[in-house]
Structure 1
Amino acid sequence: MYKIMLVDDEAEVREGIKESIDWKRHGFELVGDYASGCDAIEAVIELKPDLVLSDICMPFMDGLELTRQIQLNDPYIKVIILTGHDDFDYAQQALRLKVTDFIVKPITANELRGLLDKVKLEMDKETENRENLSQLKMQLHQSLPLLKERFLERMINFSLCDSEIQERFQYFRIQPMSPPYLVVAIDIDYLSETRKGRWGNDPELIPFAAFNILEEVTERKDAIIFRTREEKMIAIFFGEEEEGLYEAAFNLSEVIRFCMEKYLKYTVTVGIGMVSRTLCELPLSYKGAVSALDYRLLLGNNRVISIRDMESTNTSLQPLDIEWNRKFSTIIKTGTFTEAKALIEQLIGNLKASLMPIEACNLQIQTIIFAIMNTIHELVGNDIAHFKGHGILLKDINQFKTLDEIEKWLKEICNETISYISDQRKDLTQLQVQRVIDYIEQHYHDENLSLQMLCRHVHMSKSYFSLLFKLQTEQTIMEYVTRVRVGKAKELLQHTALKAYEIAAKVGYSDPQYFSVLFKKHTGSTPTHYREMLKREKS
């Protein structure tokens, strides 16, 4: 329901209009009628109507002046002017005052009702638009903190012009900054693991709590702080001379690191960039701060790292041994996990001491991984996909933030690889031994069957395969051949009437005398006595 006010110096006109209109039916509530503009303007201020229906010719204050006064107090109040004069000058002035309608008397009751219906529709639409606008303004106000962070994030990632930066600073009510500038990046160590701990019920509390501490530490300091979409916290320090700015940033960073560990029970690593002289150079300072964070790969977590310190380091340490991959391959093929562990610890120690660029460090690790994969492929061929640790080898090395993590990862790989290759070698040995056993079973009658012939069958040296065979069967190869031949001879003595010399020839012995001696050695009797003993047992 809209509020309407009637203004006319003629009482009869006011009464006629009031009696001829059912205000509620047309969506209006008549809140008052007045004989002059002076009386009406006081009521407008108090009652705040939505629509004023006013005559134009009135004493003391005419309709046009009333309209001016209404516009000054509330530009959203609509005014319809009624006049008995078809005067173009009046109409022009009314249009300049943005009068809703300018109507020449006389007007009938039906015409006035139609006019009210028309104005109500316009007011309904405007109200809906204003409500939508209000809702948008409210949403914008609620989103301002996030929009502010996105602008600051864009400012440190892209070189924006000073005019745009100053304009957005004013819009977001950001305190002005004076050069020089220094960007500091704070990153929570092991954020995903930390979220699984005591913060598991609400993982977003972790960055929120950390940012609260950052706000407290940097309070009353010349610094602008915000969060990025990568969940890093950024502080831009400014206003001091260069060395003082570095010192202030480093000291505050140490306080931030200490407070995080003490009060939140988790750690952060802080990267400090290079000083920039202009706002458009901020991306260079930010890039330096993020690069400093990468050096925790060498130095470890829970540290404050300045890119200036890292890039100015001039070490004369020995270069890394280029034969690391060959050493790893040799140990994996023939060594033990103890040897591999010692080599890994030596490698990581050298990498930490070298302070080499992160990219070179990652390349060194990847070279070793490729060496391990090639070694496995050499030993097991295309079956590498069945290697249980195959997924570990393919893991992205860039996910690790410290060399300690990489050291643990490499040890897992080597342990898994050595165990896998050992199992494969054991399975292969069993297979080769079984192949020789099968060959003996098929060729025991060949008097030329020899150790050399059997080792050649599996393509192995006599010394090495003899050792493997004895480990598997607890007897030498030729002892096994003799045991098989004697066993076959016992079967022939029991189930055939062949002479001893004939049986000797069938089981691979051309000398019957030697066969008899060998048979007695293994059974305790000669072939003839063994047959007689079998006959007595049957009778």
Structure 2
Amino acid sequence: MYKIMLVDDEAEVREAIRESIDWPRHGYEFAGSCANGAEALGAILDIRPDLVLSDICMPLMDGIEMTKHVARAAPDTKVVILTGHDEFDYAQQALRLKVHDFVVKPITPRELRALLDRIKLELDREAEERESMARLREQLQESLPLLKERFLECLVQGSIGEEEAERKFAYFGLAKPIPPLVAISVDIDQLDDHSRERWENNPELQRYAAYKIALEATEHRSALVFRTKEERVVALLSGIAEDSDEDIVQLSETIRRSVEKYMKFTVTVGVGTRCASLGELPCSYEASLSALDYRFLLGNNRVIRLQDLERPASFSCPPDYEWNRKFASALKTGTHRETHQLIEQFIGQLKSSSLPLEVCYVRTQSMMIDTVNSIRELLGDGGDWLRQLGAALQNIDGFHRLEDVEAWLKNISGEAIRLIAERRSDLSQLQVRSAIEYIEQRYQEESLSLMDICNHVHMSKSYFSTLFKQHTGQTMMEYVTRIRLETAKTLLQAEPPIKTYDIAASVGYGDPQYFSVLFKKHVGVTPTEFRDAATKEPTA
């Protein structure tokens, strides 16, 4: 409901208008009526109506004068002039005073109702706009901390001009940093399973914890602390003294140790270079990020200053062909211990080298490629596992430390050794199976020899003999003899009886006497005795 007041010096007019309108039906609450502008002004300031219907010519204070005061004291109150005067000068004054409408009497109840409905729609729209604006202001207030962080992030990235920066410092109520300046970046290290469980696997909660630690550590300094979209915490230190480098490192150590001690996870702190103006701040910030990258070489949970890591401009980096040869050999022979020692040797050499970080990345990627190629030569190009290795190579940035690369290399070399061993075992079984099939097809031949079988499977006699016994538990000739004698037993029980010397010839023995001696040695009886015993057995 909108409050409405009526101002007219004629009581009959006031009563007639009041009685002719069903105010609630049109969305209004009739808040009262007054006989002149002076009386009405006091009531308006007290009641604060949304709409005033007023005559112009009234004693003590006319409608025009009243409207002037209302415009200053209650600007949200709309005034509609209802008057019998249609002179042009009245209309001009009313327009200058921003009177909402100027209606010439007489006005019928129907016309007045239409006027009231139209003004209500306008009041509804304005109320909705005010409500929307209030919501926006509330949302803005809620977003101010985030907007402040995005401003500071743009500042250190160099994507905002100095004039705009000046305005934003004032808007957010921030003290403008005084050179010299230094940026330090705090980045959360990778968590172990215990730390993830402690922090409910909530990285935002961890980042806030690190942010609070940084705030407390810089509480008594001239510093701006904020969080970036990349989930880092950045502190901008200003007014840095000339001899304060060690002090900055000490502050960074305080942040690192406090996070580890109280929050039970670790961070690495990158310290940027000193800069002499706000415009140079992006250089200091970039240096702090570059320092963080050296975790790849130096590991987690430390303070890293780029100045301490400067390398000479010239360096030598020959490829380690001997290492590659030894590693491929260790993979082939399936020695886990040797492959692990070689990997540890490679990682140790990189850590102690004076190579720039970019070169270490290249050496690491080259070594990973060589490793995958060695595995591919042994296992071939098929299989999901090798495709996964290729995908890992394309994302070397996912390895944040050399320790991660070391663990990955040890894992894939171990998996490769396992697969190579399985492949060899499968191949050995195929070769032994092929030899057995060859024996079963040729055992009747008296000339069948170990060399014949080895030539068939393309293996040396010594290696094949060892492999055959591993898979069957017998030597190759023991296996041939067993096949021959088992066949002879079957033939000795045949009807009509087959002569012994024919049986001997059919199972690969040209000398019947030798066959009989061999049969008795393995079976315990002569062929004849075996036949006689078989024929005496009762039939079922």
1:165 counterpart SS class: helix
Identify which of 514, 528, 538 aligns with 1:531. Answer: 528
Q: Distance in 2 between matches of 1:481 and 1:23?
A: 117
Closer/same/farther in 2, CA of residues 193 and 166 from structure 1, 3 Å limit: farther
Other-structure match for 1:87? 87
One-letter code aligned to 1:451: L
Aligned-residue offset at 1:100: 0.4
Other-structure match for 1:163? 163
Q: Distance in 1 between matches of 2:202 and 2:339?
A: 42
Deviations 1:259-299 (A, max 9, x none): 11111111111222334445454444333322322221211
Closer/same/farther in 2, CA of residues 96 and 220 from structure 1, 3 Å limit: farther
Alignment of 1:234-383 (within 5 A): 234-241=234-241, 244=244, 246-312=245-311, 321-354=320-353, 356-383=355-382
Aligned-residue offset at 1:10: 5.2
Aligned-residue offset at 1:62: 3.8
Deviations 1:39-91 (A, max 9, x none): 43333332222222333344554433322222222321111234444332332
1:457 counterpart SS class: helix
Other-structure match for 1:66? 66
- Structure 1 stretch 269-278 or stretch 315-324: which is displaced more? 315-324
Aligned-residue offset at 1:488: 4.1
Alignment of 1:6-155 (within 5 A): 6-9=6-9, 13-14=13-14, 17-18=17-18, 20-58=20-58, 61-155=61-155
Aligned-residue offset at 1:457: 1.0
Closer/same/farther in 2, CA of residues 108 and 517 from structure 1, 3 Å limit: closer
Asked if structure 2 preserves the Cα contact closer than 8 Å seen for 1:369 and 1:393, the reply is no
Q: Distance in 2 between matches of 1:486 and 1:472?
A: 21
1:185 counterpart SS class: strand
Asked if structure 1 preserves the Cα contact closer than 8 Å seen for 2:6 and 2:32, the reply is yes
Q: Distance in 2 between matches of 1:534 and 1:511?
A: 19
Asked if structure 2 preserves the Cα contact closer than 8 Å seen for 1:36 and 1:59, the reply is yes
Aligned-residue offset at 1:452: 2.4
Aligned-residue offset at 1:369: 3.6
1:236 counterpart SS class: strand
Aligned-residue offset at 1:437: 1.8
Asked if structure 1 preserves the Cα contact closer than 8 Å seen for 2:185 and 2:270, the reply is yes
Aligned-residue offset at 1:131: 1.6
Asked if structure 2 preserves the Cα contact closer than 8 Å seen for 1:376 and 1:384, the reply is no
Asked if structure 2 preserves the Cα contact closer than 8 Å seen for 1:217 and 1:252, the reply is yes
Aligned-residue offset at 1:194: 6.5
- Structure 1 stretch 505-514 or stretch 433-442: which is displaced more? 505-514
Closer/same/farther in 2, CA of residues 318 and 23 from structure 1, 3 Å limit: closer
Other-structure match for 1:427? 426
Aligned-residue offset at 1:330: 1.0
Alignment of 1:511-526 (within 5 A): 522=522
- Structure 1 stretch 264-273 or stretch 105-114: which is displaced more? 105-114
Closer/same/farther in 2, CA of residues 155 and 195 from structure 1, 3 Å limit: farther
Q: Distance in 1 between matches of 2:158 and 2:460?
A: 68
Closer/same/farther in 2, CA of residues 468 and 368 from structure 1, 3 Å limit: farther
Alignment of 1:167-186 (within 5 A): 167-186=167-186
Aligned-residue offset at 1:463: 2.6
Other-structure match for 1:398? 397
Deviations 1:153-177 (A, max 9, x none): 3343453222222233333333322
Closer/same/farther in 2, CA of residues 430 and 23 from structure 1, 3 Å limit: closer
Asked if structure 2 preserves the Cα contact closer than 8 Å seen for 1:179 and 1:239, the reply is yes
Aligned-residue offset at 1:195: 6.8
Aligned-residue offset at 1:334: 0.9
1:235 counterpart SS class: strand
Unmatched runs of 5 consecutive residues or more in structure 2: none
1:197 counterpart SS class: helix
Q: Distance in 1 between matches of 2:501 and 2:55?
A: 149
Other-structure match for 1:471? 470
Unmatched runs of 5 consecutive residues or more in structure 1: none
Other-structure match for 1:452? 451
Q: Distance in 2 between matches of 1:512 and 1:31?
A: 137
1:506 aligns with 2:506: yes
Q: Distance in 2 between matches of 1:263 and 1:143?
A: 29
Deviations 1:285-332 (A, max 9, x none): 333322322221211111112233223478989867344333221111
Deviations 1:116-145 (A, max 9, x none): 333223222221222222222222222222
What TM-score comes out, normalization by structure 1 length?
A: 0.86
Q: CA RMSD in A?
A: 3.4
Closer/same/farther in 2, CA of residues 474 and 272 from structure 1, 3 Å limit: same
Asked if structure 2 preserves the Cα contact closer than 8 Å seen for 1:80 and 1:102, the reply is yes
One-letter code aligned to 1:260: V
Closer/same/farther in 2, CA of residues 286 and 83 from structure 1, 3 Å limit: same
One-letter code aligned to 2:63: G
2:198 counterpart SS class: coil
Asked if structure 2 preserves the Cα contact closer than 8 Å seen for 1:328 and 1:368, the reply is no
Q: Distance in 2 between matches of 1:45 and 1:248?
A: 63
Q: Distance in 2 between matches of 1:423 and 1:255?
A: 53
Closer/same/farther in 2, CA of residues 187 and 266 from structure 1, 3 Å limit: same
Percent identity between the aligned chains? 53
- Structure 1 stretch 102-111 or stretch 454-463: which is displaced more? 102-111
Asked if structure 2 preserves the Cα contact closer than 8 Å seen for 1:326 and 1:371, the reply is no
